[in-house]
Amino acid sequence: MSESYSINTDTGLIAPARQCPSPNCDDRPNDGSPDLLVIHGISLPPGQFGGPEIEQLFTNRLDWDAHPYFAEIRGLEVSAHLLIRRDGKLVQFVPFTQRAWHAGASSFRGQDCCNDYSIGVELEGEDEMPYTDEQYTTLTGASRAIVTAYPVISGREIAAHSDIAQGRKTDPGPAFDWLRLYDGLC
């Protein structure tokens, strides 16, 4: 049985996510409402799962000297609205009412600065490794709640990080099953 997800559109918080506030966010321009959902993939260090490093990165608490890879991203200030762990657990870093810093230099259908008008969802994983059943269950439930709370987002307004940052990003990669997500939203 899957969990029930609900969004308070006043606070921008989704239940039952665990809240882990990130300072890497700001106000959306013109108090805009999100109309794009961006799917990402992340692992820190690369190829390792389950540790605290993603949360530490998104909350500016990562020990840059703890792993050689971290030297490449030293000083990075990023976030996402949501993280879905390999076990399907949901963590919220930024309310949907605010702009999370997840997309970087980006464009979708001719509109630049995707952070301004999107919701960023990170899946703990790698481009070439299948995502888990638990992640798809959580992603589908959370996406349904997002589409209900923000009806301008539909199947046509869901994109990969690689779609909005072409040539710069590859996630969530070929291992992500788009049809499984779309079928779950029907």
If you search the block for the tokens 């949901």, which residue do you land on? Answer: 90
Say what the alpha-carbon torsion angle 76, 66, 22, 47 is, to the nearest 10 degrees. Answer: 80
Domains recognised in the chain with CATH numbers:
6-185 (3.40.80.10)
Structure token digits, residue 144: 């349904």
CA distance 174 to 159: 13
pLDDT value of residue 1:
46
Q: 186: pLDDT confidence band, cut at 50, 70 and 90? A: confident
Tell me the percentage of the chain whose pLDDT exceeds 70: 99
Q: How confident is the model at residue 177 (pLDDT cuts 50, 70, 90)?
A: very high
| pLDDT tens per residue, range 129-170 | 999 999 999 999 999 999 999 988 877 899 999 999 999 999
Active site residues: 122
- The pLDDT tens digits for 9-36 are 999 999 999 999 999 999 999 878 899 9
Judge residue 134's burial from the number of C-beta atoms within 10 Å of its C-beta, 0-12 exposed, 13-18 middle, 19 or more buried. middle
Phi-psi region of 34 (alpha: psi -120 to 50; beta: other; left: phi over 0): beta
Residue 2: its pLDDT value, please? Answer: 62
Share of the chain above pLDDT 90, in %: 92
